[in-house]
Structure 1
């Protein structure tokens, strides 16, 4: 539908509905708002006039959308979140989120004047939220209660992402005090979880402040929140005070820490857990007097009653590491390990003993605890914690130490401790050692669970040791481990990543021999493998094999089929099959539909998929991200940015893959601010490194050296190896854009000042750029950098410098330099001759 017609229809619908609010009963006003403010369904849109150009026939588009409507499992509503520019708009956002049917949010208009009773949102805190109508009979009472239930705002899960976002929006724009007032208007008491959310928000904001006086503003708000909790009689637990005290310990804020400690001690006297934070703070700041005072307190009176405090003080010393080794040893002398009630405390002790390499003391405690009624069942786990904490030991030595210690004590290692040891091996990328442990478990007579293979398979997949799938599968078969569906699918996927389709099919054959039934998920993995290899014929053969095995395709099957369709008619065919088979339309199906239509250039239909109101709202932003990537990849940057703005207006974050795709294709001059904004969207380290590298190259391309250096500095702070990896591509970009040669040399000096070390490749790119720019003066500067970096001149370096001199018409200097070039290799002589032919003809 043309944009103007759609806008007109939407405007008329809203106009009609606004009048309905005046006359509608309170019982129905919210449902009217939901129907009227939803995006216009495609089925309700006028049919385009004949002759309108289209990538596909109207029948195809409408047919698919009709199938989507029929097959949708739930009726969900798309939420359009507000702009973040004012408290009025925040109120609008809150209303749009909370007015939904439980977890479903209705679409809210952007106007700040809209409200359910004609009241402006700026007065939302003064709005009479619940009616006090009188009831004259049972029927009227039921109607009134039903109406009030619809008006009430209900939080089903206060720990959900939506609730946290809501709390953050309120705290950002209204402040903590107004936020509390607002939630008190919601018809339920503000509880501990709400306070904890606000406390965490304030602490996060304090942590982002560069100046201490700015952070104290937020700490003062936290103090007010705790006072409010105390006034209301709420319990102050570690979930509330722990994040605050950890923040103050990290920042070493002595006055603030003492103030809060006194507050918590008054409200929760004799709380041993407070003692942990107090002791650790004084250890952190090195106040020996305070440390001695706390230790003296536990020595006074009945020593037995002080063990809860002793455990927490002991935890603080263990966390302090080797710096407090002497204090830890003295503390261990006065306590009885058998009287410690916390397994967490004992684990910390043995980790510290391992880190400090106190073997004799560790063995002493192992024997003490190896007593019935104490920690006998957990000794094996404690041994594992100890041996894996020993420094300077290779994995094989750790395993040997684990086995020998068990033999010395005469105890059998537990399955739990073996699993910890396997995870330790996998974290060190030692898959062979992990498999040896599985063999050891089997020889010990233990009933080995199939779950022990999960970290091993994960390590193979992420560590690139794909070939290890053969011994893993062999161990599983030899020890008759009963596999789960997930284990078998992961094994099949590893075979497929090696392009060993025969091995993958052998797994399915073995499953049948074990009197187990292959699953659709196993065949789906093989189908996906064939599609990755662009072998569509074999992929479709897998579908036939599933039919012979009496297995029905599921949503995952159809998502692969739709994403790899060879024509639009196939899309309709698969949608019809899904509808007849009553297969659920998952988010992966919607993503596949968007990608499939985008592949055929039918972006109008791809957009209609998103506009369809049957798409569940919780899928919407991910599917929009797929459309945004497709638009950007096909040069439709303007439309992609429109989708991006729409996602941001909804208050959501875009998917990392979509953000990187947009960064990759947003490479025109003047887009730096937008690229930096997209970079902020990337939260996990891997995607941020990828996005940062792309923005860095953009800065080099457009001679934005200062910004490039700022990004490189941030990259170095996060990961030095990643910073070193991006430096050669940066100088390659200088070579591609030789007009930036001067900036390139300045960049070289700045990179060195950052403590990074440009490689020979970087200097080679810079010297080659001098050749393209015919700049011998800069070439001599680069030439000297080889010597400064301690890099010997090789034949290729000489030839590049020779080219630079010839290109700059410095024939005398070139003649002297060519004498120094080693000519043992005939290819070198060929390159010299080629340079002379290129630059000396006509001289």
Structure 2
């Protein structure tokens, strides 16, 4: 592999192109790292000391740094209920403002806006006025923009007198148009319908506002459902020969803002108003309607509007088309790819590389590989340059389906289309090699193509060598000196996962310890593998908890947490299980639905496990009520009652039965069926008959369950009765002999 790192000039050029392509990723990742650094310093040292530290390090403290520090102050103030701490953080922000002035940094809205929003949210009138005075003194040009925040403040504290005075100022005063416009924009965001209508009816919005600001007025009229006022303003604009494209934009802005209006009703209203005013829908209006439908996940309606737009002679922008594809991907509605492809071909829409990749990728996701190849052929006919990414998507799909031969044929299709494979192609090929000879073959081809091995290639090598049974070579891959330092930890994590999956737990733990020794953390997926293996082999709980604490990904953490809780249940370790349940509660305390679903999942898993785990499930229930102060959900009680039924535990079933009443949950068919099963299993036929009368018989499946229970437990009871009869006969015969 060392030879693969020597690249020729063409590879260097590719590297430069790749670097330019990913420059925006680097930019945003750098910003993220910088913000984390600022936040860490501010939390540890305080805002003022952080400024001093940066100056000592020779780094000039600019607007970016001050904004980050002020943001930390605001976050701390929002997070506390202690008034003293909040005031202290505002004091720090005030001193940062003054420091900015001393260093000659401009005080723009990106700096003062978040702080004023916090003061408005808290209703801090005096503090708001103090900061406003400072901002005006340092930046006189901000005076009109500050009017927007001032109006938001009076709306927040519901100061009717100030709101009325400002509305009169907007109507009467004709000097400062910018300040009046700022006041009006804030009023548009409120629910003060009467005040807004009074202002709108008594000012000339054409003279006062730009087209962008007028859009906000129509959004408010839509949100407040003021159709007659909107109609009057639109008619006035039309009679004054206002720009037709802008009028069209106003109509759409109004219609899409009306609450709870279905897409077909929005389109009807838009079309009616355009006909009434004798204007045509503009290109921007069509795109606004398309984006609105996408926001509602109504891709079909969005595509209907795309076709209307194209029929009207407009071209759909690549940005909007890409957004439609993004919504399809986020909502997993890949099935729309065929219609989107048809629209592209019929109307000759402009494409970019990402759109082409998505089209192929969507076909693969619905396992329409022929459709994916057809899209590639159509793109070639449209003179679109084919890329390795398009073929890679098909190859990856075949390999996911374990269709190795079809995946390998993709390489021949690439060669036929004169598309060179890239590092991603080779990573897929290597990852799915079945022999070491194939691994060597693809490595040689990659070297001959002048392609440098990437992180994905090294990961594929680890996986494929392990899959071929050569774990020693898999371990040697991570020793390659040409692996970039930033990728080494991820590659070692892949090695850990493969060692675990091939039964080499001790070797995996050695690599894990080395990663920790080097000051790094194991990747979440590898930690998950270790937790699964340790829980199956009764590993030490301390080690499991340590691994869980190292999880940086919340989804993986939740998955690992479940496994450790079940491990605790198997080992009757109530205290550790409660510790983890408390952590679950703390992580999701602001989302009750998610928290309830997670707790239900825990009890579902316990109920589905061995009957011996029932008691700890019950203990967890009481502890959750008493220690965490949470009310068990209906599903939680259902799972435990089902476990009692399976275990034939009548006493605990009665306790759970009472919990339904305590929690305020009415009994339903499922709870009656579970209790009926429990009573039959316990041999309490009288109580079972009483419960049976409460179960409705209008559902065939319910009747089938009842019959199955009766057949199962009547057989068991008859066997039990026969045994009891035999015992009684034995006792009688003994008495006769004596």
TM-score normalised by length of structure 1:
0.71
Q: Is the 8 A contact 1:709 1:750 kept in 2?
A: no
Pick aligned residue for 1:503 from 353, 371, 374: 371
Task: Output one character per residue of 1:353-399: Cα deviation in whole Å (capped at 9) or x when no partner.
Answer: 11101112223333444589965443333322221111121122112
- Kindly provide the CA deviation profile for residues 178-233 of structure 1, in whole angstroms up to 9, marking residues without a partner as x: 33223223445322222222222332333333433223333222222111111223
Deviates more, 1:515-524 or 1:550-559: 515-524
Structure 1 residues 729 and 170: CA distance shift in structure 2, 3 A: closer
CA distance in 1, matches of 2:481, 2:462: 15
Match of 1:311 in 2: 181
Q: Cα offset for 1:338?
A: 0.9
Equivalent in the alignment of 1:242: 113
Q: Deviations over 1:586-631 (max 9, x none)?
A: 3333443344445456666556655655334554565565556556
Distance 1:774 1:275, change over 3 A: same
1:553 aligns to 2:421 (yes or no) = yes
State the match for 2:674 in structure 1: 797
The answer for unaligned runs of 5 or more in structure 2 is: 13-21, 725-738
Q: State how 1:124-523 maps to structure 2 within 5 Å.
A: 160-187=31-58, 189-269=60-140, 271-292=143-164, 294-295=166-167, 303-320=173-190, 322=191, 324-370=192-238, 376-449=244-317, 451-516=319-384, 518-523=386-391
Residue 602 of structure 2 corresponds to residue 730 of structure 1: yes
Whole-Å Cα distance in 1 between the matches of residues 298 and 152 of structure 2? 36
Asked if structure 2 preserves the Cα contact closer than 8 Å seen for 1:610 and 1:624, the reply is yes
The equivalences for 1:606-617 within 5 A come to 609=477, 612-617=480-485
Are the structure 2 counterparts of residues 661 and 841 from structure 1 closer, same or farther at C-alpha, using a change threshold of 3 Å? farther
Residue of structure 1 in register with 2:17 after alignment: none
**RMSD (CA atoms):** 4.1
Distance of aligned partners of 1:817 and 1:432 in 2 relative to their CA distance in 1, 3 Å threshold:
closer
The 2-side partners of 1:199 and 1:67 are apart by 49
Given the superposition, is the C-alpha separation of residues 439 and 326 from structure 1 closer, same or farther in structure 2, using an over 3 Å criterion?
A: same
Q: Distance in 2 between matches of 1:243 and 1:694?
A: 42
Aligned with 1:776 (options 650, 656, 661): 650
Task: Assess if the C-alpha contact under 8 Å between 2:372 and 2:394 holds in 1.
Answer: yes
Give, in whole Å, the separation in 1 of the partners of 2:406 and 2:285.
Answer: 45
5 Å matches for 1:639-678? 639=510, 642=513, 645=516, 649=519, 667=535, 669-670=541-542, 674=546, 677-678=549-550
Q: In 1, are the aligned partners of 2:144 and 2:179 still within 8 Å (CA)?
A: yes
Higher relative contact order (CA 8 A, sep 6+): 1
Counterpart-to-counterpart distance in 1, 2:213 and 2:517 = 50
Separation of aligned partners in 1, 2:434 and 2:28:
44
Question: In structure 2, do the counterparts of structure 1 residues 791 and 751 end up closer, same or farther at CA, with 3 Å as the change threshold?
Answer: farther
Query: Aligned pairs, how many?
Result: 687
Give yes or no for contact 2:6–2:452 (8 Å, CA) kept in 1.
no
Pair 815,219 (structure 1): closer, same or farther in 2 beyond 3 Å: same
1:71–1:584 Cα contact (<8 Å) kept: no
C-alpha change, 1:222 and 1:592, in structure 2 (3 Å) is: farther
For residues 464-519 of structure 1, give each alpha carbon's deviation from its aligned partner in whole angstroms, at most 9, with x where no partner exists.
Answer: 33333232222223333354443333222222222222222222333344455543
Query: Aligned-pair distance for 1:657?
Result: 5.5
Residues 71-113 of structure 1, C-alpha deviation per residue, up to 9 Å, x if partnerless?
9979xxxxxxxxxxxxxxxxxxxxxxxxxxxx9xxxxxxxxxx
Q: How many Å apart are 1:533 and its aligned residue?
A: 0.4
- 1:831 paired with 2:712, answer yes
- Which deviates more, 792-801 or 817-826? 817-826
Shift of 1:656: 6.5
Q: Is the 8 A contact 2:123 2:157 kept in 1?
A: yes
In structure 2, what is the Cα distance between the partners aligned to 1:456 and 1:693?
37
- Check the 8 A contact 1:689/1:715 in 2, yes or no: no
* Counterpart Cα distance in 2 of 1:291 and 1:696: 56
Shift of 1:432: 1.9
Matched position secondary structure for 1:487: helix
2:411 corresponds to which of 533, 543, 560: 543
Structure 1 residues 247 and 694: alpha-carbon distance in aligned structure 2, compared to 1, 3 A threshold: farther
Distance 1:595 1:747 in 2: 44
What is the SS of the residue equivalent to 1:235? Answer: coil
Q: Residue 566 of structure 1 aligns to a residue in which SS?
A: coil
Cα distance in structure 1, aligned partners of 2:274 and 2:280: 6
Please list every run of 5 or more consecutive structure 1 residues that lacks an aligned counterpart in the other structure.
Answer: 1-63, 75-102, 104-154
1:524 is matched with: 392
Cα distance in 2 for residues equivalent to 1:697 and 1:391: 46
